Amino acid sequence: MEEESDFRKINNSFLRDHNYATEADIISTVEFNSTGELLATGDKGGRVVVFQREQESKNQPHRRGEYNVYSTFQSHEPEFDYLKSLEIEEKINKIRWLPQQNAAYFLLSTNDKTVKLWKISERDKRPEGYNLKDEDGRIRDPGTITTLRVPVLQPMDLMVEATPRRVFSNAHTYHINSISVNSDYETFMSTDDLRINLWNLEITNRSFNIVDIKPTNMEELTEVITAAEFHPHQCNTFVYSSSKGSIRLCDMRASALCDNHSKFFEEPEDPSNRSFFSEIISSISDVKFSHSGRYLMTRDYLTVKVWDLNMESKPLETYQVHDYLRSKLCSLYENDCIFDKFECVWNGSDSVIMTGSYNNFFRMFDRNTKRDVTLEASRENSKPRAILKPRKVCVGGKRRKDEISVDSLDFSKKILHTAWHPYENIIAVAATNNLYIFQDKIN
């Protein structure tokens, strides 16, 4: 109950908008860092925008911890593979933060083929008074150097610099769909449609293939990997989900190549729901370990499921995200929406899960009270510091006031990417080219 009332109180105390207007501006990933101080977004144009939470100030308590732009940089550029005659899109598929170990921040960003490690650091001093070069960096005429001096650090305007520190490339034939940093903080994995590679964060010219489901004969291919993630605490354990709706848990201690899973999570198909689209809608678009490491959450087209790592036969909980679309599958197939890849996230205490839907709606499910709420991320319906009103989609013929009919949902407005602050009730919701940040009501 408490959680539920929390969500009703969640307001848009700071609603943001990037002033975006083109295809390149569509947000393709959102991720908080491990402290929640920073929030990164990636977009189709290959840019990464990092927001930083403002320090709380006693003078302006209502402006508690708003997020402001901290750094913007071009992470990936469009490329051309001359060997294959292929264009490689610059779109950022995923961003993952590394735990902070010093004053600088590190994040991994990936497009379809290449993972990059970026360092984001602040600089508020600059060295001045070099002997061999002048202030602009030009070499001085040795004839003019008459005295030696000691360079000094002078204060300057604070600069936030983003520099690429590592580029992990040439290891993926297919499209990278996920990256995950291991809890040993030394390795990470990158996953494409058919393979998972393990990298050391320091080594860019070598990676280890830990999963390979590519059949020798590609004609026999019926399944692809859709997402993968490391266990939050056990560095030897990871899971990957497939387009057939199953999840495999692998133990890297068992063998170097984890072709044999140690656990296989799958729910038998309900024959009463069988349709032409059963296969497509059962494809898992995202898999996430709970913070505790005890549960897994998976998202398929119509549902989000919570699995207990100790029960492989069926999910512990199944939540309907937008079951009213079940009768619309044919149209959604026709207009390609059925292939949309919705992601899902846990709240800090693993008691609430959140995932997106259409019409700029997103859903929250309270696992304890089994209550759920539909909220809308839109400029029209929300003012700063206003409380979000729960929305309701009307399924039957009779539409009540404040309800929206299934037929008037806008399927071009979809919320695919969301993020939840690691321990506070602050959420970030990407709606096409807008980023909305909502937080608990401040009392």
Cα 290 to Cα 306: distance, rounded to the nearest angstrom: 9
Closer CB to other proteins, 347 or 359, in the complex: 359
Q: Shortest approach of other proteins to residue 105 CB, angstroms?
A: 14
- Tell which residue, 209, 214, 247, has the closest CA to residue 228: 247
Closer CB to other proteins, 162 or 252, in the complex: 162
Distances in whole angstroms, Cα of residue 249 to Cα of each of 183, 239, 287: 16, 4, 11
Q: Shortest approach of other proteins to residue 241 CB, angstroms?
A: 11
Q: Shortest approach of other proteins to residue 362 CB, angstroms?
A: 17
C-beta separation of 54 from 73 below 8 A: no
Q: Shortest approach of other proteins to residue 348 CB, angstroms?
A: 24
Q: Shortest approach of other proteins to residue 435 CB, angstroms?
A: 9
Closer CB to other proteins, 249 or 281, in the complex: 281
Closer CB to other proteins, 141 or 380, in the complex: 380
Closer CB to other proteins, 202 or 313, in the complex: 202
**Chain centre to alpha carbon of residue 340:** 15
C-beta separation of 401 from 388 below 8 A: no
- The residues, ordered by sequence, that sit 6+ positions from 368 with a Cβ below 8 Å of its Cβ are 3, 351
Find the radius of gyration of the CA atoms of the chain.
24
Closer CB to other proteins, 153 or 203, in the complex: 203
Q: Shortest approach of other proteins to residue 6 CB, angstroms?
A: 23
Can you list the alpha helix ranges (DSSP code H) found in 238-369?
A: 278-282, 329-334
What is residue 129's DSSP assignment? -
Q: Shortest approach of other proteins to residue 164 CB, angstroms?
A: 5
Q: Shortest approach of other proteins to residue 87 CB, angstroms?
A: 6
Closer CB to other proteins, 177 or 357, in the complex: 177
Closer CB to other proteins, 141 or 398, in the complex: 398
Closer CB to other proteins, 300 or 366, in the complex: 300
Q: Shortest approach of other proteins to residue 218 CB, angstroms?
A: 5
Closer CB to other proteins, 173 or 368, in the complex: 173
- The residues, ordered by sequence, that sit 6+ positions from 270 with a Cβ below 8 Å of its Cβ are none
Sign of the CA dihedral running 73, 112, 287, 370: positive
Residue 16, burial from CB neighbour count under 10 angstroms (0-12, 13-18, 19+)? middle
Q: Shortest approach of other proteins to residue 273 CB, angstroms?
A: 15
**Chain centre to alpha carbon of residue 407:** 30
427-91-199 Cα angle (round to 5) = 85
SS3 63: helix
Phi, psi angle pair for 324, to nearest 5°: -65, -10
Specify the residue for token string 């979809």.
Answer: 414
Cα 198 to Cα 221: distance, rounded to the nearest angstrom: 23
Cα 161 to Cα 14: distance, rounded to the nearest angstrom: 26
